[in-house]
Structure formats: C-alpha cells, structure tokens
Amino acid sequence: MIKLRRAHKWFDMTGRIVLLNVLLTGAVAAAPNAQNLLEEVDKHRLGWDSVEVDVNITTTKSWGKKTVKRYLVRVTGKERSLVKFLNPEERGQYLLMRNEGMWMYFPNTRRAIRITPLQRLTGNTSNGDIANLPFSGNYTPQLLGSENVGGVATLVLELKAFSRAATYPTIKIWVRQDNHTPYRAEYYLASGKLMKNVDYVAYEDRAGYLVLKTMQFRVPHKPNEVSEMQFTRIEPKTFPAYWFQKNYLPRL
Amino acid sequence: MKQFLLIKWLCFVSLVGVFGLTKASAQLEWEELEWSIEPKTEIIWQDQRSNQFDILKEPARFAKVEGRMGMELGMQYEKTATVSWLGYVTGNEWENKKYSRFREAYLGHEWTELGLEVSLGRRIIRQGTGYIARPTSLLEGQVRRQDPDDHWGALLGSDMLFLQWFKEDSTFSFAVTDSDKNRNPRERPDVVFRYETLWGDADFAVVAGLPDPAFGFAWANVFGEGLELHADILAQRGTTRAYHQVTQENSEPTLYTDYPYVSPWEDSGRFFCIVC
C-alpha cells in the first residue's frame, strides 16, 4: 500500500514536471528567437545575401528645397558593402565597408584612404546608412518585448554593435508581429543620445516576399527635414571577392 | 626628346586602341566610353622663401602671385584605355608660360576571372598610407605641396609596365619603369614590387625596389571613433639630396638663381630611412 502511494506520488510529481515543461516550451516557442527574427528583418531589408541595389536619396529641407542623390550599392555577405556615388559632383567616389574598416576612394587622390568610424556618420543619411549592411552580421539582438505602435502590434528588438562595420553602437527596432517586416527604428550614439528616427514606409512584393522599397530618416534636431531613401532596383548578383578590397576601387 | 616621342606614340596607340575597340566590337557599350572636359582656373598668392642657402647664406622672402587658366580633357574606355591631357597658360609678375602634358596615356587588359590586370603606358599610381607624405609610393610623380589632393591635376603619371594581381584581401603589384625619365621628385627604383594585405584589421604593405635597393613598410589603422594612424617607412640606398625639396616647385629658373638646383650634396652611397 505504501509502495502504491509512493508510486502514485511519484507519477503525480513527474506529471506536474512534464506539464510544466510542455507549458514552458510552448511559451518559448511563442516568443520568436531574437537572432532568427533579426535575420528575417534583414531578408526584408535586402531580399538576398548578395545584391546590387540602386538607391535614390531625396532630402527635403524645412523650407521645401529638395536634393536628390543617387548611389549604386553592392552588398555581399553580412559585412561587405561597396557604394558607388553616381551624382555628377561626386562621380568616381567609392565607399568600401568591411568588418576590418572603412575606405573611401576619391578620383583626385587616386587611392583608397582608410577612414574612421566617425566619418561613417557624416550626412543626414550617413555613409553607413547608404552602405546598408545586414544587421545580423554586425549586431547582437535582444528581444525587449512587444509594443503597440499606432495600432500596429510590434516586437521590440535592441541591437548592440559587436563589429567594426556596424554604423551605430545601439539600434532599437520595432518589427511587425504579423509579417516580421521592420516598422520603425531608432539609432543611438555611444553616449546613448538618439541620433536618428527611421520609418520603414513601403515594401514591394518580390516573388511572394516583401522587400523594402522606401525608408525615411529624420534627425531629432532638424524635425522638419526628412531624407527618403528609395531602393529603385534590387537585383540578386554575385561579385568577385576581390571587388571588396581597397586596391580594386579605382578599377570599378 | 625620345621620351616625348614615346609618350606621343603611347597616346596615339591608346587613341587607336579606343577607336579600334569602338569600331571593331559589334557589341560596343557606348556608355562605357567616358569623356570629360574640365575647365580649371586658379589664382595663387603666396609668401615664398628662397631656399638657396648656399648662395644667399640666409633665406630671402618674397611674395608670388600667379594665375592659371586651362582645361583637362579625359577619355576612358572600360578602365582599359585611358588618355588624359592637361593644358593651361600661367603667368606671374615675371613670366608667362604655356603648359601642355599628357597626364595619363595607357592601354591595359584585365583577366577578371584571375583578378589580374596589366597596363602599358603613362599612368598615375599612388600608393602608401599617408595623406601627404608617402615614402613607399615609389611610382608616384611630384605633387604640389600646396595641393596634396591634386585638385588642380598637376600630378603626372610615370611611363611604366604595370601589373596588379587582386586577391580577396591582398594585392600584389609589379612595375617596370625608367625612373630617370619620370618626373619624380627624387631618385626612385626602376623595378618595384609591392604586396598589400590586411594584417588583422590594419592595412599593411611591403615594398621593394631595384636596382638601387629600396625596402619599406606601410601600415595604417584606426582606433576608437576618430584616431587614425598611418606609417610609411622606406630604407633606400641613394643620395641625400633627393629627400630635401631644394628646387622650386616647377624646377624653373627663379628670381634668385638662373639654374634650378644647386647640389652641395653628393651621392652618399649609404642607406638611410625615410619615415612619415
């Protein structure tokens, strides 16, 4: 009898543990893994691992003046990006971003010069924004929770930079819960100061997959100025590995 | 004179090459043929100091005002054939001059699957890591000190056979030139090898030259958000005079002397280092 009671007790306890386990596993499965979510965000931002993108950036000043700049961006892997400046006044300039650093090529200087991380932040839409490297190869994500932003259910991710190719030390990004596309983001400096507000405003359907079409940048100290970055062409492409090294820039 | 003829010939070959390519190829991509016309004007006002110490015993100061007006014409086809010409008239208080030079005129070919590029002709090659001083940039012509980024376009190419082999993280380059005939500011080797790579996160290069032996390193890296360090070191056997800018910039007769260069320094025959 005592044995039977013990057995019953044992089964009772085991059953509770199993039930608890099932419940916990279910809860973990419901909250997406932060790294997987970030990789999905990157897929919506660029579409493919190796791409060629035509980028137009239209900056509208507070008094209504518009300037348009055009770039050709090539991204391969998670940490290599090459930007060709297409505007006549910047023609012949290239920017190379890799995990090992950043280089800029100016036609007059005839050679690529290594530049500092600070210089990747120049401009309303910084060099780092144009280079558009995937977040997942350069930041460690942490899921902060969920939030309702203007009626849209989102998941909030905090990204901390671990690579030299990362443009901002910290990024907070709101991802739509329904389709896991990025909805909005805040870019922070090392001091914790908010540097940019980013809205991901339009996507286009590419073979059943949503790929980013337009995003808007706003700087807190210029509230009436907006820079709109449009991806007018996104094409999957492979490039020779040696294109993404500084000495080849004059040949591109 | 021979050099001038050679350059003329190379320019002609480059032009024929470009037009030959354009005519011969049925699949010609006209957008790959790039033309550029760049008008240039400049007025310089500067306090100058004569550095003919051995004659004057002490430096003399004088002001110089100079104006230039000209243009640069460029033509390039798929980065394989390039011709660039710069012409201008310049004048100051004492003289007027006309200047006409082919800055670049070369033909090249690239084997994309190998990452290998070969070119022949006058070409501007700038290497080294520094912004202004680059001792390991052995193929580079003279740059105006007032314009290190060469906005005016004064930098002339060197006549050479040039080979580059690009790998994912490194580049090997090899050049054969006649350094005596190039408009270089100092004595340079005729055969130059250079290997550039990433050493950790830093840019690193080894350079060697012959027949007068030259050997050097270049290195650059960034630290933190804004600190940038560059280092070029070259050891070379040669003369000391080459490393002192004792001539006037254009090597023309100046107010104080009717010959551009007085050389109290002779060949030292020793090795010495240049560091920036």
How near does any CA of chain B get to the CA of A67, in Å?
Answer: 24
The answer, yes or no, to whether residue B214 has pLDDT greater than 60, is yes
Q: Which residue has the higher pLDDT, B54 or A58?
A: A58
User: Cβ of A120 under 8 Å from any chain B Cβ?
Assistant: no
The answer, yes or no, to whether residue B204 has pLDDT greater than 90, is yes
Phi, psi of B94 (to 5 degrees): -110, -25
For residue B244, what pLDDT is reported? 41
What is the arithmetic mean of pLDDT over B89-109? 85
- Answer whether A116 sits within 8 Å of B170, measured CB to CB: no
Based on the fold, state whether residues A10 and A97 are members of the same structural domain. Answer: no
Based on the fold, state whether residues A23 and A71 are members of the same structural domain. Answer: no
How near does any CA of chain A get to the CA of B153, in Å?
Answer: 8
Residues of A in Cβ contact (< 8 Å) with B129 = 114
- Answer whether A164 sits within 8 Å of B201, measured CB to CB: yes
Report the candidate in B166, B100, B159, B72 with the shortest Cα–Cα distance to residue A108.
B72
**Can you give the length of chain A in residues?**
252
Nearest CA in chain A to B222: A116
Q: Confidence band (pLDDT; 50, 70, 90) for A155? A: very high
The answer, yes or no, to whether residue A29 has pLDDT greater than 50, is no
The answer, yes or no, to whether residue B51 has pLDDT greater than 60, is no
Nearest CB partner across the interface for B171, out of A108, A164, A247: A247
Phi, psi of B222 (to 5 degrees): -120, 150
Residues of B in Cβ contact (< 8 Å) with A118 = 225-226
CA end-to-end distance (rounded Å), chain B:
36
| DSSP-H helix ranges across chain B | 2-24, 53-56
Based on the fold, state whether residues A124 and A2 are members of the same structural domain. Answer: no
Structural element, H or E, at residue A13? helix A2-30
Averaged confidence pLDDT in chain B: 74
Tokens coding B105: 């005129």
How near does any CA of chain B get to the CA of A129, in Å?
Answer: 17
Based on the fold, state whether residues A105 and A227 are members of the same structural domain. Answer: yes
Work out whether strand A80-85 and strand B81-92 pair parallel, antiparallel, or are unpaired: unpaired
- Answer whether B225 sits within 8 Å of A190, measured CB to CB: yes
User: Cβ of B257 under 8 Å from any chain A Cβ?
Assistant: no
Instruction: Name which of A150-159, A188-197, B96-105, B233-242 the model is least confident about.
Output: B233-242
Based on the fold, state whether residues A64 and A144 are members of the same structural domain. Answer: yes
The answer, yes or no, to whether residue B174 has pLDDT greater than 90, is yes
Based on the fold, state whether residues A189 and A214 are members of the same structural domain. Answer: yes
Domain that holds residue A134: 34-251
How near does any CA of chain B get to the CA of A41, in Å?
Answer: 27
Residues of B in Cβ contact (< 8 Å) with A245 = 166-171
Instruction: Name which of A10-19, A35-44, B97-106 the model is least confident about.
Output: A10-19
Candidates A108, A168, A191, A249: best to mutate against B (most CBs of B within 10 A) is: A108
User: Alpha-carbon distance A128 to A121, whole Å?
Assistant: 7
The answer, yes or no, to whether residue A240 has pLDDT greater than 50, is yes
- Under DSSP, the state recorded for B190 is S
Number of domains, chain A: 2
Contact B155, B146 (CB under 8 A): no
Nearest CB partner across the interface for B226, out of A116, A240, A248: A116
DSSP string, A130-177: HHT--STTTEEEEEEEEEEETTEEEEEEEEEE-STT-SSSEEEEEEET
Q: Confidence band (pLDDT; 50, 70, 90) for A94? A: very high
Nearest CA in chain B to A111: B126
Which residues, including other chains, have CB under 8 Å from residue A11's CB and lie 6 or more apart?
none
Question: What is the radius of gyration, based on Cα positions, of chain B?
Answer: 21
- pLDDT tens readout for residues B110-158: 998 899 999 999 998 888 887 777 888 888 877 666 676 777 777 888 8
Residues of A in Cβ contact (< 8 Å) with B205 = none
Which residues, including other chains, have CB under 8 Å from residue A139's CB and lie 6 or more apart?
A38, A159, A160, A161, A162, A163, A166, A171
Based on the fold, state whether residues A61 and A176 are members of the same structural domain. Answer: yes
User: Cβ of B155 under 8 Å from any chain A Cβ?
Assistant: yes
How near does any CA of chain B get to the CA of A79, in Å?
Answer: 13
Question: What is the radius of gyration, based on Cα positions, of chain A?
Answer: 23
Chain centroid to CA B206: how far?
Answer: 19
Based on the fold, state whether residues A176 and A55 are members of the same structural domain. Answer: yes
Give the CATH number, domain containing residue A59.
2.50.20.10
What is the arithmetic mean of pLDDT over B182-209? 85
Q: pLDDT above 90 covers what percent of chain A?
A: 23
User: Alpha-carbon distance B224 to B273, whole Å?
Assistant: 30
Report the candidate in A132, A127, A123 with the shortest Cα–Cα distance to residue A230.
A132
Based on the fold, state whether residues A3 and A57 are members of the same structural domain. Answer: no
Candidates B37, B169, B230: best to mutate against A (most CBs of A within 10 A) is: B169
The answer, yes or no, to whether residue B62 has pLDDT greater than 90, is no
Q: Confidence band (pLDDT; 50, 70, 90) for B55? A: low
- Answer whether B201 sits within 8 Å of A100, measured CB to CB: yes
Based on the fold, state whether residues A4 and A115 are members of the same structural domain. Answer: no
Based on the fold, state whether residues A247 and A142 are members of the same structural domain. Answer: yes
User: Cβ of B198 under 8 Å from any chain A Cβ?
Assistant: yes
Based on the fold, state whether residues A126 and A21 are members of the same structural domain. Answer: no
